[in-house]
């Protein structure tokens, strides 16, 4: 048996001190029995592409998932990503096709669930605001069974957009309940029947790090001493509870099982410097903002959208999205991101996503109001913008803001590369803390500013106090795994390792190799990747949009 335990956003920076202090004995034991190390994420380290690479062994240029959303061809509209945008099969599919029984619980980008030889409960991209329904459980009959066994099941039974007095004290019990619910479901599934491959994903390490970092880290420029007295132990508590859940589940796994614990990315603190990338592009002459009535219209669109997200009850939001359908959802998201930009007078622009800073060139023939000619003009513009970004300095400290600029074809490979932004930015850290990327609106104000103290405790969309890092965690033990070894690996290496441990060949289109410490050589099977899956239907995409909005992933560049 292969048992996989996903800890979204877990980092050794937090786990190792807790292991050393005896607060995470189960993870410590797994590390001592097997091989472990840093698990390098995708670039940028974003949940959807990272978990997609985890379960396919392919880089985003092959599997086609770059973000929670996607630019639609020949438009400035935004579509929403689901499992049906993934161009290559998951390990669950490959294992099922080989006759193996699989169970997959709560992994992101598994909505809608794929029919397989086993069961699948979709991840937080599933289309329900606080709970789940049968639409994201396969087989659908298992939905009633799981409710009878463990009761209601929720991914994030609280909003993360509006953070005010009392929010953290109310959220922490919800995180505890979430761990308990997922543990109970996982225990039930493990005891239900023997599985060839089992996976459950816990998202609580990610959520607690986003919102509670400022209470746990005295070095953070957002450190809140008063809040720390009450909430300073929240992150350590959640890590400890995750370790206890791991211990409970390991007791239900056969002793000769191969066990993997892994995260999709790591974590760190966020500082107080804010970047408005489109304002910087405007200062450099590469972007034009709309003036007059155009600027007013842009503010109105953002205002309506923000009011809908923050003031309308969740059930009313959901009914509106279901009624209006995906066409309005796509236009609304596109308007929100791009309506302030004067596209005919723009050569480059950014979606200003806090979790994935990047740039699009406005290319003639590709984009409706393109101004950059393909070929030499494109290459010259890319070079000039990249050079200027690397020269961008913080106005207060003089330190570099951008550590590296990557052309998409230098970090991605495959038939989907052209769906990625033209330039992916790797931002520098400011004294070890990340910059916050926030929307420029109609272009008012400086390109770099400091957060006001009232903004330090921000929710999704406002620059949360904890942010993603590339280095996640992995720890593997089992009959084919060396003990006591530590070495870095890539998130692309997980899928080939799982197939190898199951005694199956590894498709030649996978980019990863075996995780360090695993014995044997993989059997590489030379076969092409399967064709692209069909697009999500209108009702499904509208519901998915509602879900992502409710969680804050689409709120004005949320992290």
pLDDT band at 7 (very low <50, low <70, confident <90, very high): very high
pLDDT band at 103 (very low <50, low <70, confident <90, very high): very high
Both 449 and 495 in one domain: the answer is no
Both 227 and 352 in one domain: the answer is no
Phi then psi dihedrals of residue 103, to 5 deg: -135, 125
Strands 466-469 and 197-202: unpaired
Other beta carbons less than 10 A from residue 92's beta carbon: 24
Both 187 and 252 in one domain: the answer is yes
Q: Is residue 311 part of a domain?
A: yes
pLDDT band at 337 (very low <50, low <70, confident <90, very high): confident
Q: How many residues does the chain have?
A: 559
pLDDT for residue 249:
98
Residues 152-191 pLDDT 10s:
877 666 778 788 899 999 999 999 999 999 999 999 999 9
Does residue 60 have a pLDDT over 70? yes
> Tokens 């491959």 — which residue?
197
Other beta carbons less than 10 A from residue 296's beta carbon: 12
The CA R_g of the chain, rounded to the nearest whole Å, is 23
Number of domains in the chain: 2
Per DSSP, the residues of 258-273 read EEEEE-S-EEEEEEEE
**Span 213-225, mean pLDDT?**
98
Does residue 312 have a pLDDT over 80? no
Residue where a domain stops, chosen among 466, 500, 515: 466
Q: Is residue 442 part of a domain?
A: yes
Residue 46 belongs to domain with CATH number: 3.40.720.10
Q: Is residue 227 part of a domain?
A: yes
pLDDT for residue 521:
92
Tell me which of 320-329, 332-341, 494-503 is least confident: 320-329
Cα dist. 491→34, 56, 236, 497 in Å?
18, 10, 25, 11
Work out the end-to-end distance of the chain between its first and last CA atoms, rounded to an integer number of angstroms: 35
Other beta carbons less than 10 A from residue 333's beta carbon: 21
Residue where a domain stops, chosen among 441, 466, 491: 466
Contact 47, 37 (CB under 8 A): no
Residue 435's nearest CA partner among 272, 256, 192 is 272
Strands 35-40 and 358-361: unpaired
Q: Residue 69 half-sphere exposure, CB side, CA atoms within 13 Å? A: 32
DSSP class of 148 = H
Residue 270's nearest CA partner among 304, 220, 307, 310 is 220
**Span 116-123, mean pLDDT?**
94
pLDDT band at 105 (very low <50, low <70, confident <90, very high): very high
pLDDT band at 557 (very low <50, low <70, confident <90, very high): very low
What is the C-alpha separation between 472 and 10, in angstroms, rounded? 6
Residues 497-521 pLDDT 10s:
999 999 999 999 999 999 999 999 9
Residues 387-424 pLDDT 10s:
999 999 999 999 999 999 999 999 999 999 999 999 99
Q: Is residue 406 part of a domain?
A: yes
Q: Which are the contacts of 277, defined by CB distance < 8 A and separation ≥ 6?
A: 350, 352, 357, 359, 425, 437, 440, 447
Structure tokens at 189: 């599934």
Both 211 and 194 in one domain: the answer is yes
Residue 531 CB burial class (10 angstroms; 0-12, 13-18, ≥19): exposed
User: Which of left, alpha, beta for 241 (phi over 0: left; psi -120 to 50: alpha)?
Assistant: alpha
Contact 55, 123 (CB under 8 A): no
Both 490 and 517 in one domain: the answer is yes
Residues 13-52 pLDDT 10s:
999 999 999 999 999 999 999 999 999 999 999 999 999 9
- Residues 228-261 as b or e (16 or more Cβ within 10 Å = b): beebbebbbbbbbbbbbbbbebbeebeeebbbbb
Other beta carbons less than 10 A from residue 452's beta carbon: 9
Both 242 and 297 in one domain: the answer is no
Structure tokens at 345: 């007078």
Both 75 and 36 in one domain: the answer is yes
Both 276 and 266 in one domain: the answer is no
Q: Is residue 556 part of a domain?
A: no
**Span 45-67, mean pLDDT?**
97
Q: Which are the contacts of 545, defined by CB distance < 8 A and separation ≥ 6?
A: 80, 321, 326, 329, 333, 554
Both 444 and 476 in one domain: the answer is no
pLDDT for residue 151:
87
What is the C-alpha separation between 393 and 134, in angstroms, rounded? 51
pLDDT for residue 160:
80
Both 265 and 280 in one domain: the answer is no
**Span 438-446, mean pLDDT?**
86
Residues 123-141 pLDDT 10s:
866 544 456 778 889 999 9
User: Which of left, alpha, beta for 292 (phi over 0: left; psi -120 to 50: alpha)?
Assistant: left
Residues 536-554 pLDDT 10s:
555 555 556 555 555 555 5
Q: Is residue 559 part of a domain?
A: no
pLDDT for residue 306:
58
| β-bridge mates for residue 273, sequence order | 450
pTM, full prediction: 0.91
What is the C-alpha separation between 558 and 539, in angstroms, rounded? 24
Q: Is residue 558 part of a domain?
A: no
pLDDT for residue 558:
41
- The domain of 487 spans 2-270+468-551
Q: Is residue 557 part of a domain?
A: no
Both 430 and 472 in one domain: the answer is no
Does residue 466 have a pLDDT over 60? yes
Using DSSP's 3-state secondary structure scheme, residue 247 falls into helix
Structure tokens at 218: 């005295």
Does residue 111 have a pLDDT over 50? yes
Residue 220: alpha-carbon gap to chain centroid = 23
Residues 426-436 pLDDT 10s:
999 999 999 99
Does residue 447 have a pLDDT over 50? yes
Tell me which of 77-91, 196-210, 226-240, 385-399 is least confident: 77-91
Structure tokens at 469: 């890092």
The more confidently predicted of residues 292 and 118 is 118
pLDDT for residue 314:
56
Does residue 532 have a pLDDT over 80? no
Using DSSP's 3-state secondary structure scheme, residue 122 falls into strand
Does residue 559 have a pLDDT over 50? no
Both 481 and 446 in one domain: the answer is no
Contact 507, 91 (CB under 8 A): no
> Tokens 């709970």 — which residue?
131
The more confidently predicted of residues 300 and 176 is 176
Q: Which are the contacts of 285, defined by CB distance < 8 A and separation ≥ 6?
A: none
Residues 238-286 pLDDT 10s:
999 999 999 999 999 999 999 999 999 999 999 999 999 999 999 999 9
pLDDT band at 295 (very low <50, low <70, confident <90, very high): low
Residues 348-379 pLDDT 10s:
999 999 999 999 999 999 999 999 999 999 99
What is the C-alpha separation between 18 and 259, in angstroms, rounded? 21
> Tokens 């699989």 — which residue?
102
Q: Residue 53 half-sphere exposure, CB side, CA atoms within 13 Å? A: 32
Q: Which are the contacts of 316, defined by CB distance < 8 A and separation ≥ 6?
A: none
Residue where a domain stops, chosen among 466, 490, 509: 466
């Amino acid at each position: 048996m292969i048992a996989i335990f996903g800890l979204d956003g877990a980092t050794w920076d937090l786990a190792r001190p807790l292991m050393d202090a005896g607060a995470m004995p189960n993870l410590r034991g797994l590390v001592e029995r097997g091989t472990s190390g840093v698990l390098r994420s995708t670039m940028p380290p974003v949940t959807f592409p990272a978990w997609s690479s985890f379960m396919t062994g392919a880089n985003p240029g092959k599997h086609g998932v770059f973000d929670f959303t996607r630019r639609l061809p020949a438009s400035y509209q935004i579509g929403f990503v689901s499992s049906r945008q993934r161009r290559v099969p998951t390990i669950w599919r490959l294992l099922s096709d080989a006759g193996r029984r699989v169970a997959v619980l709560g992994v992101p980008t598994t909505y809608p669930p794929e029919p397989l030889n086993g069961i699948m409960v979709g991840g937080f991209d599933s289309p329900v605001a606080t709970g789940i329904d049968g639409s994201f459980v396969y087989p659908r009959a298992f939905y009633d069974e799981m409710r009878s066994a463990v009761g209601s099941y929720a991914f994030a039974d609280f909003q993360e957009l509006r953070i005010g007095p009392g929010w953290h004290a109310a959220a922490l019990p919800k995180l505890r309940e979430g761990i308990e619910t997922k543990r109970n479901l996982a225990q039930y599934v493990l005891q239900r029947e023997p599985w060839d491959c089992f996976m459950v994903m816990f998202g609580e390490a990610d959520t607690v790090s986003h919102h509670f970092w400022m209470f746990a880290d005295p070095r953070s420029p957002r450190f809140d001493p008063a809040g720390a007295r009450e909430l300073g132990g929240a992150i350590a508590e959640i890590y400890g509870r995750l370790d206890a859940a791991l211990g409970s589940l390991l007791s239900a796994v056969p002793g000769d099982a191969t066990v993997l614990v892994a995260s999709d990315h790591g974590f760190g603190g966020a500082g107080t410097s804010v970047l408005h990338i489109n304002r910087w592009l405007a200062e450099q002459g590469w972007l034009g903002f709309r003036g007059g009535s155009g600027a007013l219209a842009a503010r109105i669109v953002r205002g309506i959208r923000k009011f809908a997200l923050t003031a309308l009850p969740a059930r009313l939001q959901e009914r509106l999205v279901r009624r209006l359908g995906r066409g309005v959802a796509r236009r609304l998201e596109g308007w929100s991101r791009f309506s302030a930009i004067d596209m005919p007078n723009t050569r480059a622009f950014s979606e200003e996503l806090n979790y994935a800073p990047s740039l699009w060139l406005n290319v003639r023939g590709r984009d409706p109001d393109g101004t950059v000619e393909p070929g030499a003009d494109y290459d010259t513009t890319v070079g000039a913008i990249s050079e200027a970004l690397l020269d961008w300095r913080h106005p207060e400290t003089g330190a570099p803001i951008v550590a590296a600029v990557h052309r998409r074809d230098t970090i991605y490979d495959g038939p989907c590369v052209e769906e990625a932004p033209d330039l992916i930015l790797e931002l520098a850290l400011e004294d070890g803390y990340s910059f916050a990327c926030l929307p420029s609106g109609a272009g008012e104000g400086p390109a770099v500013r400091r957060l006001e103290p009232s903004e330090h405790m921000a929710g999704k969309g406002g620059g949360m106090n904890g942010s993603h890092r590339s280095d996640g965690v992995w720890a593997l033990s089992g009959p084919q795994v060396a003990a006591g070894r530590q070495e870095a690996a890539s998130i692309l290496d997980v899928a080939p390792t799982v197939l190898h441990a199951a005694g199956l060949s590894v498709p030649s289109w996978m980019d990863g190799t075996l995780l360090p410490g695993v014995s044997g050589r993989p059997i590489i099977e030379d076969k092409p990747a399967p064709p692209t899956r069909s697009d999500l239907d209108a009702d499904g995409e509208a519901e998915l949009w509602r879900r992502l909005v409710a969680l804050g992933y689409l709120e004005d560049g949320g992290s």
